Amino acid sequence: MSYKVRFVDPARNYKMIKKEIDAAYHEVMSRGDLIMRGQLKHFEEKLAGFVGTKYAVGLNSGYDALHISMMAAGIKSGDEVIVPAHTFLATASAVVNAGGRLVLADVSEDYNVDPGKIEKAITSRSKAIIPVHLNGRACDMDAVMSIAIKHRLVVIEDACQSLGATFRGKKTGSFGLTGCWSFYPFKILGGYGDGGAITTNDAKVERYAKLLRYNGEKKETGAYYYHGFTCLLDNIQAAFLAVKLRHLPEWLRRRRKIADIYRKGLSGIEGLKLPHFEDKRFGDVFQNYVVRTSRRDELYNHLKKNGVEILIHWRIPYYKYKGLKLKTGRFSETESISREVLSLPMNVEITDAQVKYVIKTICNFFQFM
């Protein structure tokens, strides 16, 4: 199907920065700098600088960032880790694959974990919390950090959807033991394939993650320290991501501008809830522009028919999939979200005219003039 408005448009994004990306490609290829070279180090420094942590460690996915963080937090068999019921499955899989026990907590209407529900989920076996800053909005980190301090829990931030988002002016990914990042192509900082990183202020965690990503080996000496993984951020991806990171401040402004156009065009439609949760402590970056309506499936079909590409995060909460064998209970907010949400096109490639077309198509659906 050919869309009038794509959810994201990587080819158009490439055209916007073609000269710089091509130059980065030529530099990497002509030097043969493929594994753990200067481009990776440079990107890590820039990412840490942007997030406001001492260190960043490039990895090959957000999942690996979460999994290694679980190991760095010392999660072992029987340890409970509290995770939001409404998140991408990778957050939960990292806990399970590290040997931990998943304990889920429901979210609030801003789609992020409800701190009151975290408190209720705590037991004597609780070891860590993974707040997920979903859709480009930080969790209430005053509440999360004070619960963690009170109950001596490690905080691992799933910041995969929140690069640039702030809480009281501090960037997500700089509060916990680690911040976990994804550079999957649809992300705010999207690479040309998979990619991820950990940010941290802890030198031991930095060293541990750098060893684990390279099969437990210290590259300089060839000595092995751990049974690790092969999950480096490739040098060429790092070179591309460094180019994109330079554009990030301008691209975050653009995301906020698009969100504002949506807000102006869609406010006042009865039965349509927009993702603007007024609270000055939060600086949102709109990884996703999520709207909510009880007529979700009809609206989805109407937008699709009119050439607008829509994603739904997520139609079925992950804990309901039988194959995962999770015995977790029910989470009413997560379940109504799964019936009601849809994510509108939100990317820096989209034009104002395209955003207005999406708005017009939605207004037509609701017969809102």
Ligand X SMILES: Cc1ncc(COP(=O)(O)O)c(C=O)c1O
Return all residues near 308 (Cβ < 8 A) that are at least 6 apart: 3, 4, 5, 344, 345, 357, 358, 361
How far apart CA 1 and CA 301 sit, in angstroms, is 13
CA–CA separation, 35 vs 233, rounded Å?
A: 8
* x/- map, 180-219, ligand X, by CB under 6 A: --x-x---------x-x-----------------------
Residues forming beta bridges with residue 158, ordered by sequence position: 132, 180
Q: Which of 126, 161, 338, 361 binds ligand X (CB under 6 A)?
A: 161
| Cβ at position 193, least distance to ligand X in Å | 10
The answer to whether the beta carbons of residues 333 and 106 sit under 8 Å apart is: yes
When binding is defined by CB under 6 A, the residue of 160, 188, 198, 342 that contacts ligand X is 160
Give the length of the chain: 369
The single residue among 158, 206, 309, 349 that binds ligand X, judged by CB under 6 A, is 158
Q: Which runs of consecutive H residues, i.e. helices, occur in the chain?
A: 10-16, 18-31, 38-51, 62-72, 89-97, 115-121, 141-151, 203-212, 235-266, 296-305, 332-340, 352-366
Piece of the chain touching ligand X by CB under 6 A; list 76-84, 118-126, 158-166, 255-263: 158-166
Q: How far apart are CA 252 and CA 48, in angstroms?
A: 17
318 binds ligand X (CB under 6 A): no
Q: In this chain, which residue has its C-beta nearest to ligand X?
A: 62
Cβ closest to ligand X, residue 343 vs residue 354: 343
Would you count residue 345 as binding ligand X (CB under 6 A)?
no
Instruction: Report, in Å, the least distance between residue 91 CB and ligand X.
Output: 5
Residue indicated by tokens 């969100």? 259
Residue carrying the six token digits 């207004």: 363
Q: Which is nearer to ligand X, 138 or 272 (CB)?
A: 138
Stretch that binds ligand X, among 56-64, 104-112, 201-209, 352-360 (CB under 6 A): 56-64
Nearer to ligand X, 255 or 365 (CB): 255
Q: Does 237 bind ligand X (CB under 6 A)?
A: no
Residues 6+ apart with CB under 8 A from 113: 84, 105, 106, 107, 131, 132, 139, 144
Q: Which is nearer to ligand X, 191 or 228 (CB)?
A: 191
**Site mask for ligand X (CB under 6 A), range 57-96, x = bound:** ----xxx-----------------------xx-xx-----
Helices then strands, counting H and E runs in the chain, come out as: 12, 12
Distance in Å, CB of 202 to ligand X, minimum? 21
CA distance 87 to 171: 20
Nearest partner of 153 among 68, 95, 74, 91, judged by Cα: 74
Which window, 72-80, 100-108, 157-165, 314-322, contacts ligand X (CB under 6 A)? 157-165
Considering only residues 92-151, where is the footprint of ligand X by CB under 6 A? Answer: 132
Kindly tell me which of 80 and 194 has the beta carbon lying closer to ligand X: 194
Q: Would you tell me which residues interact with ligand X (CB under 6 A)?
A: 61-63, 87-88, 90-91, 132, 158, 160-161, 182, 184, 194, 196
